[in-house]
Amino acid sequence: MIRHNPPGRGHRYRDSLDQRTPVHPVADEPVRLAVLVEPGRAGIVAEVERGGKSEEHDLTRLDAATTGGAAGEGHLAAAAEAGEDTGGLEPWAVDIGSFGAAELVRYRFRDAESGQTTQWWSFVPATWQADGGQLAVVGEPADRLVPGSVSWLVAGDPQDEASDAFTGALRVRFALRLTDDEHVVGLGERFHSLDQRGWAVDAEVYEQYCSQGMRTYLPVPFAHVVGADGWGFHVDTTRRVWFDVGRRDADLLWVEARVAATEAELVLRLWSGDPATVLDGFFDRVGRPGLMPDWAYRPWISGNEWNSQARVRPR
């Protein structure tokens, strides 16, 4: 058995052991193929077709020796910790290089010993383009959007019946200007820093129980920009959003968001003024929180470490 699942199982921060990485390859960026194989195979080969030419890539078995871990550690242990069921299969992987824009790539896997092959999969690398959807900027200060910074990651159509390739826009990205004395506060509940300037974070729900680090189970793509005249923004979407808050470019806040291919559009809402004014505008859009009930102001007891009724009840 050779198991390959190009989109993986959808884990937010960890690739599956049998997926393609990235799921939607981007032009001129490396592509990695991974499979799960029943134990005892001598070798696995990836047959790749591109531009009318064929090439072969030998996969490497991933085990404690290749990860630097001891027995029971490495890829399989990480998979088990992340809840991935490998079914007793062994992980193999290979980097097959990068590919040009609009280049149809087909691949399959072969057992080097028996000659058994899998089905064919295919993709066309996506490219960042000036056109691909619509970014609507609502409110002020609209001049915060950097002219020419908007681009769309668009995937092509290989016109292949065996293809699992995606067609349409995948993401949009753009930049907002930051002055030297501005600080970015918000983006939901955060554990690593109050001021997000200098950090790169995402808005994606993720429950890690303890030690969330830069991940959060309560993200909100809304933030105050305090200092100078003051303003705020809301990326109006429920899809995943990434923020580079002056980490790559000190005076820019880069935003990248997933979009729907059939409706490739995104709304960016801006408000100018002090935090109270910005928050008022945000509440006008999303709704205002209700008053907490009286009991919520009484003592709270955390149940994080109490996993049974016996531990809760006094003796």
pLDDT digit string (tens) for 12-54? 888 999 999 999 999 999 999 999 999 999 999 999 999 889 9
pLDDT at 207: 82
Q: How far apart are CA 2 and CA 5, in angstroms?
A: 10
Average pLDDT of the residues in 97-106: 92
Same domain, 239 and 104: no
Torsion sign, CA atoms 249, 250, 251, 255: positive
DSSP secondary structure, 212-260, as one string: -TT-BSSEEEEEEEESTT-EEEEEE-SS-EEEEESSSSTTEEEEEEE-B
Q: Is 115 inside a domain boundary?
A: yes
Confidence of residue 303 (pLDDT cuts 50, 70, 90): low
pLDDT at 162: 42
Same domain, 133 and 281: yes
Q: Is 274 inside a domain boundary?
A: yes
pLDDT at 307: 64
pLDDT at 74: 61
pLDDT > 70 fraction of the chain, expressed in percent and rounded = 87
Q: How far apart are CA 198 and CA 192, in angstroms?
A: 12
pLDDT at 65: 46
pLDDT at 166: 56
pLDDT at 122: 93
Amino acid at 277: T
User: Among 120-134, 150-164, 243-257, where is mean pLDDT lowest?
Assistant: 150-164
Averaged confidence pLDDT in the chain: 88
pLDDT at 163: 47
Q: Which tokens go with 262?
A: 């059939």
What digits encode the pLDDT tens for the residues 170-205? 999 999 999 999 999 999 999 999 999 999 999 999
Spatial CA neighbour of 135 closest among 176, 177, 187, 173: 173
Same domain, 87 and 178: no
Dihedral of the CA atoms 21, 96, 248, 212 (nearest 10)?
Answer: 30
Torsion sign, CA atoms 117, 118, 119, 120: negative
Q: What is the pTM of this model?
A: 0.84
Same domain, 192 and 45: no
Same domain, 171 and 52: no
User: Among 18-32, 80-94, 245-259, 288-302, where is mean pLDDT lowest?
Assistant: 80-94
312 in helix, strand or coil?
Answer: helix
Q: Specify the CATH number for the domain of residue 25.
A: 2.60.40.10
Q: Which tokens go with 82?
A: 């992340």
pLDDT at 311: 67
Q: Is 310 inside a domain boundary?
A: no
Q: Specify the CATH number for the domain of residue 239.
A: 2.60.40.1760
Q: How many domains does the chain have?
A: 2
Same domain, 145 and 275: yes
What digits encode the pLDDT tens for the residues 130-143? 999 999 999 998 89
What digits encode the pLDDT tens for the residues 53-68? 999 999 999 874 444 3
Q: Is 40 inside a domain boundary?
A: yes
Q: How far apart are CA 299 and CA 302, in angstroms?
A: 10
Bridge partner residues of 270 (DSSP): 139, 233
pLDDT exceeds 50 at position 314: yes
Same domain, 175 and 101: no
Confidence of residue 294 (pLDDT cuts 50, 70, 90): very high
Q: How far apart are CA 122 and CA 166, in angstroms?
A: 10
pLDDT exceeds 80 at position 82: no
pLDDT exceeds 90 at position 152: yes
Domain extent, residue 228, equals 127-286
Confidence of residue 312 (pLDDT cuts 50, 70, 90): low
Same domain, 176 and 241: yes
Q: How far apart are CA 159 and CA 305, in angstroms?
A: 54
8 Å CB contact between 189 and 207:
no
Same domain, 134 and 20: no
Residue 79: CB atoms within 10 Å: 19
Considering 64, 99, 123, which residue would you say is the last residue of a domain?
A: 123
Same domain, 264 and 235: yes
Spatial CA neighbour of 269 closest among 249, 259, 255: 255
pLDDT > 90 fraction of the chain, expressed in percent and rounded = 69
Same domain, 84 and 140: no
8 Å CB contact between 21 and 78:
no
pLDDT at 76: 65
8 Å CB contact between 292 and 260:
no
Q: Is 280 inside a domain boundary?
A: yes
Same domain, 187 and 86: no
pLDDT exceeds 80 at position 247: yes
Spatial CA neighbour of 239 closest among 203, 263, 270: 203
pLDDT exceeds 60 at position 250: yes
pLDDT exceeds 90 at position 73: no
